[in-house]
Structure 1
Amino acid sequence: MEYFLQTEAWADFQRSLGRRVHQRSGRGWSFLAIEEKNPAGKVLYAPYGPVAESVAAFDDALAALVEVARSCHAVFVRIEPVTAGLDPATAADALKSRGLQPAPVNQQPELSWIVDVDRDFKEVLADMKPVNRNLYRNIHKKGVTFRSTQDPEDIRILLNFLHMTARRNGFKPQSDEYLTQVAESMMPAKAATLFVAELHGGPIAAALAYDSADTRTYAHAALDDTHRKLSAGIPLLVTLMADAREKGLKHVDLWGVAPADEPDHKWAGFSAFKKSFGGREIAYPGTWDLPVNKPRYAAYQAARKLREALRTVLRTTLKRIQRPTP
């Protein structure tokens, strides 16, 4: 699988945000890495990278990343080697043996849900829950139609629905400015597509997807509360999958899901939604740091652990204060 976070279109989008992007390639490896800032200082981050065909190629990519990091005075390299030629069962040990250590938090999901669409679409539909198939086949009877667009102006449809969802569920979506820039940079390049469900010509749901050479990633979606009972988000996603197959893509990545053994996980609800479309789980090694300026990185880690310890003490103290007197 090729991930959109390592594509030229994503590099162009990052540059449009004013960020400095480094791209390198060699025999059997490549990477896209972005200069970022955090409390340690400058970080060189390769989202879902580097890409490598073998362990030897991964080592070459890692050496090149360190070289770039030193040239731009980055404190450390942050990587997510999802396609790096590493055995998933031993990836953690392999990374640790190379001097890497787990990042404080994973930047991207550790688990994702993949639907393979490089087959007869009847087989894709057969793997879904019956209600999903039936909605896809019959929702047109209720006056609902679907369209796709790569007009950046249409991103306003999704932004409006995201605002509704945020108010209803009390979460903060990515900023309008960010998603507008995504649309302006990636839609004209055919690397992002907005799918819209309409009822009698008016939008009622929207989903934004990113494309790489072989994979479509379901990234942002929301719907109009007024028409929630129509469940238009389900046939909208099936339409997105069917379109991916028609364009010759092999996979649809439904993005992060919760671990199956954590029913109370904050992602459990929409994980069940994603899994209702059939497919398979894929596990990644997670986010890892390779210190380049070791004293600065050690100071950063010590300061972070001290902050976490102070927060723990503060939470414990507040609980004791708030505990009712017997």
Structure 2
Amino acid sequence: MEYFLQTKAWEDFQKSLGRHVHRQSGPGWSFLAIEEKNPAGKVLYAPYGPVAGSVEAFDAALAALRTLAKSCGAVFVRIEPVGLDPESAPGTLRNRGLQPAPVNQQPELSWIVDLDRDFKDVLAEMKPVNRNLYRNIHKKGVTFRATQDPEDIRVLLNFLHMTARRNGFKPQSDEYLTQVAQSLMPAGAATLFIADLHGGPVAAALAYDSADTRTYAHAAMDDTHRKLSAGIPLLVTLMADAQEKGLKHVDLWGVAPADQPDHKWAGFTAFKKSFGGREIAYPGTWDLPINRPRYAAYQAARKLRDGIKSLLKRPTR
């Protein structure tokens, strides 16, 4: 799989935000790293990177990241390595001076639907209700379309606002997603899929494409038409379109661990798993301190802040 957050399209998008980015590669390894700011100072962050085909290749990539971080004055490097065995990775990473980041920036578990087979077999792994909706929802007047016009992102933004009000969560800003659309859609790296009911939109989903994988990134629907469940056949349409374009996988993005039924992602994890597929695990997010005194001070300040927040949340008598 080619990970979208390591692609040239994502690099161009980061540049459009005014960020400094770095791309390096060598035998069996590569990375895209982005300069970011946090309370510690400058951070060099490689989302789902470096990508390495072996432990030896990972060591070479890590050495390159360390040198790069020193040259640009980064306090630490934050990585999410791809290619290491998730079970042995913690030991491998700790032995090289890395430590787990306070939180995982990208999901540690994701859900993949493989498309390198007849689409009938893809449908056969889905729950019957998903297949039936995909095959029959046109009888209710619902149609689907794909667009790469950045102006159409407004459809998704409106539905995200509705979902945020209903569920009490804070979506990414309109400005950010508008910039995503303006950078990625004309380049063919992002596509917005829209479900229409009698000519008016009722659901939308934004997907990103790498060389072999389509990533399901953002989706929302009109509250007033929830009973239609148009988001289900919309996602199946997104998958069918990906296969027609020669892509091999659809990445449905983060899911909750199977042994955590009360996880905050449990609801949409069940939704994603209803389309068939398989789980993929990553080692998670790890930090490599470069300026150790400043990194230690950053960690101490973070723990103090978290401790104060915890105390403030305790009920008073």
TM-score normalised per structure 2: 0.98
Pick one of 133, 136, 161 that aligns with 1:135: 133
The one-letter amino acid of 2:228's match is L
The match for 2:78 is: 78
Question: What amino acid is aligned across from residue 61 of structure 1 in structure 2?
Answer: A
Q: Give the Cα separation in 1 of the matches to 2:61 and 2:256.
A: 30
Matched residue type, 2:76 = F
What is the rounded CA distance, in whole Å, between the counterparts of 1:168 and 1:264 in structure 2? 20
Inter-partner Cα distance in structure 2 for 1:304 and 1:288: 16
Give structure 1 regions of 4+ aligned residues with deviation exceeding 6 angstroms.
none
Q: Specify the alignment match of 2:65 in structure 1.
A: 65
Q: Are residues 1:305 and 2:303 paired?
A: yes
Gaps of 5+ in 1: none
The 5 Å alignment of 1:264-279 reads 264-279=262-277
1:60, 1:106 → 2: CA distance?
23
Most deviating of 147-156 and 297-306: 297-306
Match of 1:91 in 2: 89
1:239: which partner in 2? 237
Output the CA distance in 2 between the equivalents of 1:144 and 1:314. Answer: 49
| Structure 2 CA distance for aligned equivalents of residues 309 and 203 of structure 1 | 46
Partners of 1:171 and 1:312 lie apart in 2 by 21
1:54: Cα distance to partner?
Answer: 1.4
Deviation at 1:303, TM superposition (A): 1.3
* Residue aligning to 2:29: 29
Cα drift, residue 309 of structure 1? 2.3
CA deviations over 1:263-298 (Å, ceiling 9, x no partner): 111111111000000001111100000001111111
Q: Give the deviation of 1:167 after TM superposition.
A: 1.1
C-alpha contact 2:111 2:272 (8 A) present in aligned 1? yes
TM superposition shift of 1:89: 1.6
1:314, 1:222 → 2: CA distance?
34
Deviations 1:200-227 (A, max 9, x none): 1111100000011111000000011111
Opposite residue 114 of structure 1, the aligned amino acid is I
- Report deviation, 1:315: 2.9
1:307 is displaced (CA, Å) by: 1.7
String of CA shifts for 1:74-125, please: whole Å, max 9, x gaps: 0000000023xx2222010000000000000000111111100111000000
Report how far residue 30 of structure 1 moved. 0.8
- Tell me which amino acid in the other structure corresponds to 1:195: F
Work out which of the residue numbers 275, 285, 288 in structure 1 matches 2:286.
288
2:101 aligned partner: 103
The alignment partner of 2:259 has SS state of coil
The one-letter code matched in structure 1 to 2:77 is V
* Equivalent position amino acid for 2:26 in 1: G
Q: Secondary structure at the match of 1:35?
A: strand
Alpha-carbon distance, 1:135 to partner: 0.2
- Runs of 5+ in structure 2 lacking a partner? none
How much is the aligned-residue C-alpha RMSD, in angstroms?
A: 0.9
Match of residue 192 from structure 1: 190
CA distance in 2, matches of 1:210, 1:54: 27
* Equivalent-residue separation in structure 2 for 1:261 and 1:87 (angstroms): 21
Question: What does residue 224 of structure 2 align with?
Answer: 226
Match of 1:163 among 145, 161, 164: 161
Residue 258 of structure 1 corresponds to 256
TM (norm. structure 1) is: 0.96
Deviation at 1:236, TM superposition (A): 0.1
Which aligned pairs between 1:47-58 and structure 2 lie closer than 5 A? 47-58=47-58
SS of the aligned residue for 1:48 comes to coil
Distance (whole Å) between structure 2 residues aligned to residue 285 and residue 203 of structure 1 = 39
Q: Distance in 2 between matches of 1:221 and 1:309?
A: 35
Distance 1:44 1:221, change over 3 A: same
Name 1:19's counterpart in structure 2: 19
| Distance verdict in 2 for CA 1:291–1:148, change over 3 Å | same
Letter in 1 for 2:133: L
SS in 1 for 2:193: strand
Which secondary structure does the structure 1 equivalent of 2:90 belong to? helix
Distance 1:158 1:315 in 2: 35
